[in-house]
Every structure is written in C-alpha cells, then in structure tokens.
Chain A
C-alpha cells in the first residue's frame, strides 16, 4: 500500500524498560476512516459509487469510492458532473446517523484500551493511550495490536500515534500511518502535510494559498509574528497545538451507559439459526461494550422485528452477571427455540441492562469458571428452557395452616430457621381432594385405619383463609399412608391433603 506505516520510532532504547516516559507525557492515537460515509451505507470501495450531500450548488459529491476517484471523480464535484464522467455511477445520499453509529462502534472498541476517548466527527476517533502502555507491553506492541484489530473490522482506516492529539488526527486524516513517541520528531513528520490538514476556516485557507503556501513546511518557514498578523491567530495556535507547545483540550466522551444496537437480517426468516447468527454478532458487540466498561450484565432484551407487526420481545436473564457472548447465545437459543414466532423476522434489536462493574474481589469468578459459576449457568439454562417459575426451592413459613406453611422460592436464597411440626406428609396435594365417605366410614369401617390424630388446626382469622380442621394420619387398604382432614366448618366433609410417600 502507498500508505505503508512510516514508523518514525524514537524510543528511549537506552533505558531498561524501553518505554520509560515521564508520566506527564501523552500518547494520542487517532483513527481516521476515510471511507466512512460509503462504508456506513455498505458500499464497497471497489464499486463505482459516490455519497452525495446537498449544498448551495445542488447535490455534490461528499465521498467517492476508490474506483470513482481513479476515473477523476472528486469530493465537492457536482453530481451531474460526476455522472458525466461515469454514466453508471452509483449515487447514494449521505446517512449521517449511520456514520455516527459506526463511529460509536469504534468508540466502544477504543474503550477497551483507554477511558479517554473522543470522537471527532465526521471521520476521526481520538484516544489517549499513554496510561495503558504497560498493560499492552509497550508502544510498539500496542501499535501493532491496534493495527491488527482495525484490520479485522473490515473498514479502511489509518492509524497514527503521536504525543499530541492535533498531530495524530492530522497525520491519520492525511493517510500517513505514523508512530512517534518524541515531541521533537513531530515537526519533521508533519512538514509535508498540506495546509488544509490544519482545519482552518475557508477564508484563511484561501489567503494562505494565495500567498503561495501549500504545506506546513512552508508555513513554518514564515516568520511567526508575521503569520499571526497576516492570517489571524488561529494559524499559529493550531501549529503550536499540533507540536505540543500549547494545550489542546479535547472533549472526552463518556462511554454511553446503555447498550442498544440493531441489525437487519439479510432476508426475512423464521429459522432460529439465522436469527441467532445475527444475534451472535450483536452479543459479541455487547461483550466488547462490557469489557470496555469493566462491567458485567445480568439481563439482555432482544426484540425480533417483524414486518407490519409489533416486535417479539425476549428477555434473557442470568443469575451471575457475565459478559461471555457464547453463554448469552446459549441462553438466547433456548428462548428462541421455545418461542412461537408470529411472523418472519426481519431484524433484531438488542439492549443490555443490569450492568454492574466487576467487583475486583470476585474477579477470578469470571475468569476461571468454578463450580459456583457452572451451577449458576446450568440453572440459567434450565430457566431459559423451562420457564422461570418452574425452578424453585421449597421454603418453610411460620404458619399453622398446612397450605401456608411453605412457599416456592427462587433458587439460591437464604432459608430462615422455622420450627416444623411433626406428622407432616412428604407429598402435599395442590388442592385438598374431597373424599366420598362419611366420618364413621373413616373411623369405623375397614377402608381406613387411623394411626395418628386428630390434630386440630384452627387459624387464619386474619385473612380470608380461615379454617378449622382435624387432621389424621391414616393407612388405606392399598397400604398407603395418607394425611386426611375433616373440615369442621363444611358439614364435616373429609378431604385428602397429603401422602406420606
């Protein structure tokens, strides 16, 4: 490539560590996406295509693909002029929202290296990495890693690492891949840059060009006080900022707290496999998002979008907050397979909640899954497949009434210490079942033998479930031991309430 990395490396090789820098020094990485407008519309650089934007002169070319450039189409050109050059040119209007979304994705990616990230629309991302050098094994290893990960994104982009944000963004925007760690080398590497790199106002730029200045080198040759007087203070300020002689504050964007992304499917489908494929992509981004924030999440909401029908919402929850995209996918698969879809799915929206930062004390829990993590994961899978309410732990409550002396509680909660009465059956019926017999049948005839009782339970006057019952333990002719009661309020009817199992 013509923009081969121009490594102006000047590391302090004499020192033991190789990256020993004063803590006050900065290292700014700039990533410039020259084809962002095209890529946001999924247009390859090898097509003959332009992205247009409205202007006073009508629609003009905002960005041209590489092939379009090769035939002479340039940004700023009128669309009709471009079409005159290449009749079959693909013309698309610009989508600033899509561009912003793409830039945000890079923001999340950069957040994995540093919290100090600044998006500089339209096409540049700046982040300060000096504090992270040790973590990523020094500046060269970091540069290589950034470059490698950028290659994997599939976007055309340029990366520059220098001590000042101004120099980094100018070099990246000019397509010069640079790694400079010493401020003294900045001027050397920037002198060939054209003056429009400085981002000056149109009028200043025009006057500079009229004076015969086209590169920064020529600008630096002019007397400094003359420069400010003739072309305004902006020129000197920007030059000084780029060389680090003047502070250059940048707006640091906080990484957004909520995660919400969507993805369109290539075709409408009801196939769980295709839906999961798209979801996998979003979950991977969610996982990156969590990594950037040193966070874990316990809930993911997925909306499956249909044509002309309200979206199907699926909530996936876990008991141990996590960030592993694979595990989220396993849970989501169970949910999607269980769900009847009302219509084909055309897109997926995914958002995450229940975010919390990792407690350093329990950090190893997430790195090396131990038995507790495995167990929680298994319960999540069971809940995802069987439904949340179908997984429970029996819990004892302090109440005399048998139906109220227990409850279902969600797994993994503390058990209160409650004393339990003797003579209770191991099996309880959902509802007491009425027996077709009379009192004297039970006590007198041979169909039942009372072996214990009666135990009178009369309670519940404080709510609507007041009752008065005599409970007996009986053995029936089959040899089963049963728990029956006589309802003293309802004409002394007999009910079966439990089995001793």
Chain B
C-alpha cells in the first residue's frame, strides 16, 4: 500500500484494519509464554469475550485458565463460574492459589446462562466470568461481548461443540485439542490479528 494512501485511510478511519493497534486491547497474561506471544493482547483479552471450544471436558481447559484466574484473584477480583459441567472442587482450587472468597458458582439451566453472565460481566469487580452454555446464539454472544466491555473483565465461554464455522462476535476464539501430553491451541480468530494459528502448551 502506498504511504499516502495508508495515511489517508488511517486519517479518516475509512477502513477498519484488523491488525492495527487500535484493534488490540489490554490483556491478562495466560501464564504460558508461548500462548501470550501468539495473542495480540499478550494474554486473555480484557473487556472482551473469549470463546474456547473443547472437544471434551477435562482436557486441560481449567489448567489453561488457572494462572490468569489466580492473577486476577490476587487483585481481589471475582471469578464467577456459570453452569459448570462438574463441581469446581474447592480443595483443588484453593491449592492452585485461588482465594475462594472471590470465587462464586452459579448453577442454572441453559436459558439463564447468558442472562446471568451478562448481568455479572458488567461488574468491574468480576475479573473473569466463565460460562458453559449449551447453546449460544449470535445475538447473545454480541450482548455478552458488550457486557464484558462495560465491566472490563474477561468473559470466557467454554463450549463442547465444534463452532468453528459459525460466526461469532467474540474477540478471541480458540479450539483446544490433545497433543501427546500437551494441548494444542488453535487460534481461530483474534481481534488484532495473530501470526501463529497453532500453539502447543505444556500444562
């Protein structure tokens, strides 16, 4: 692109460019250097929604999120779990370094998951809101993204189904897979652009 054309475009904001600085926001380190490197926000994007597709629970999705949870928890920000598929086990969470005073679980049916998430995401004190919805429509995802922008926390939606081909307004979309002893993280979409589509992480 010619320099004067580039200047004209950026001056008048005629075209939104995915890989420019203003598409990026701040992030909270994931605790895994390889993953941080691959993400435009150098961590889990704050004030945004992240969608993680997991083929089956227990693959390492919680261990992937734990370092960021602990970091937020130390700042006395809440970690809210909405409709988790199993019981978040208190002794293990405490062992991992979470202050359970700032951990809350909301058990609910599918219809109320996005409502509860939207309501809680809009709070500044909620550092991370995790939800396991059965279904999530594009409209709901959009609303969750807006709620996360209001509250400034990290919104995480974990989904068992393969949603790769569906449109979503989440700022970051990942799909994790087992990879002999490690897990592979496919970056399906990252607002701000990512140059590495696949990262292997050893948990």
Query: Beyond A381-B119, A429-B87, is A415–B95 a contact (Cβ under 8 Å)?
Result: no
Q: How far is the CA of A54 from the CA of B142 in the complex (A)?
A: 70
A14 contacts the other chain (CB 8 A): no
**Which size bracket describes the interface of B in this complex?**
35 or more
Q: Kindly specify which of A5-13, A71-79, A146-154, A371-379 makes contact with the partner chain.
A: A371-379
Minimal Cβ-Cβ distance residue in A for B115? A385
Interface: B20 (CB within 8 A)? no
Interface members, chain A 286-306 (any B CB < 8 Å): none
**Size category, A interface:** 35 or more
Chain B CB within 8 A of A183 CB: no
Query: How far is it, in angstroms, between the C-alpha of A418 and the C-alpha of B85 when the chains are bound?
Result: 26
Complex formed: what's the CA distance from A424 to B124 in Å? 31
Is A323 an interface residue, CB under 8 A from the partner?
A: no
Contact at A480–B56, with CB atoms within 8 Å? yes
Q: Cβ of B92 and Cβ of A420 under 8 Å apart?
A: yes
- Whether A501 and B119, one on each chain, are in contact in the complex, defined by CB atoms closer than 8 angstroms, is no
- Contact A424-B58, Cβ < 8 Å, known A411-B104, A414-B101: no
Interface residues of B, dominant DSSP: mixed
Asked if B88 CB lies within 8 Å of chain A CBs, one says: yes
Give a binary string over B72-108; 1 marks a CB under 8 Å from any A CB, 0 the rest: 0000000000001111111111111001110111111
Min C-beta distance of A26 to chain B, whole Å: 51
Instruction: Judge whether B89 and A426 touch: CB under 8 Å.
Output: yes
B89 contact from A374, A418, A424, Cβ within 8 A = A424
Tell me which residues from 9 to 68 in chain B have a Cβ below 8 Å from any Cβ of chain A.
Answer: 56-63, 66
Contact call B106/A391, Cβ cutoff below 8 A: yes
> How far, in whole Å, are A422 and B112 apart by their CA atoms in the complex?
35
Given that A375-B123, A378-B120, A501-B63 are contacting pairs, would A480 and B58 also be in contact in the complex, using a CB cutoff of 8 Å? yes
A433 to B178, alpha carbons, bound, how many Å?
23
Bound: A389/B108 CA distance, A? 10
**Contacting residues, chain B, for A62 (C-beta < 8 A):** none
Q: Does A191 contact B (CB under 8 A)?
A: no
B194 interface residue, CB < 8 Å from A?
no
Most A CB within 10 A of own CB, among B57, B62, B92: B92
B123 x A421 contact (CB < 8 A): no
Are A371 and B116 CB-contacts (below 8 A) given A382-B106, A479-B178, A499-B58?
Answer: no
- Tell whether A415 pairs with B89 under 8 Å between CB atoms, given A500-B63, A501-B60: no
Chain A residues, Cβ within 8 Å of B181:
479
Residues of A within 8 A of B90 (CB): 394-396, 405-407
Tell whether, in the assembled complex, residue A396 and residue B60 are in contact, meaning their CB atoms are under 8 Å apart. Answer: no
Total A-B contacts with CB atoms under 8 angstroms apart: 137
Indicate if B186 sits at the interface (CB-CB under 8 A). no
Contacts of A220 in B (CB 8 A): none
* B86 engages A499 (CB within 8 Å): yes
Determine whether B150 belongs to the interface, using a CB cutoff of 8 Å to chain A.
no
Q: When the two chains form the complex, which single residue of A385, A389, A393, A402 contacts B112, counting CB atoms closer than 8 Å?
A: A385
For chain A residues 391-432, which have a beta carbon within 8 Å of chain B? 391-396, 402, 405-408, 411, 414-415, 418, 420-422, 424-430
Contacting A390 at CB < 8 Å: which of B92, B107, B125? B107
Q: How far is the CB of B116 from chain A (nearest CB, A)?
A: 6
Contacts of B179 in A (CB 8 A): 479
B91 near A420 with CB under 8 A, answer yes
Residues of B within 8 A of A393 (CB): 100-101, 103-105
C-alpha gap A386/B85 in the complex (Å): 17
Residue of A nearest to B61 (CB): A501
Would you list which residues of chain A between 475 and 501 have a CB under 8 Å from chain B? Answer: 478-482, 498-501
Interface residues of B (CB under 8 A from A): 56-63, 66, 84-96, 99-101, 103-108, 112, 115-116, 119-120, 123-125, 178-181, 183
Q: List the 3 closest A-B pairs by CB distance, nearest first.
A: A479-B178, A501-B62, A499-B58
Please name 7 further chain A to chain B contacts, defined as beta carbons within 8 Å, in addition to the given A427-B87, A499-B86, sorted by A numbering: A378-B123, A386-B107, A391-B106, A394-B90, A396-B90, A478-B56, A480-B59
Could you name 9 residue pairs across A and B whose Cβ atoms are closer than 8 Å? A391-B104, A392-B105, A424-B95, A426-B63, A428-B88, A429-B87, A430-B86, A478-B56, A479-B178
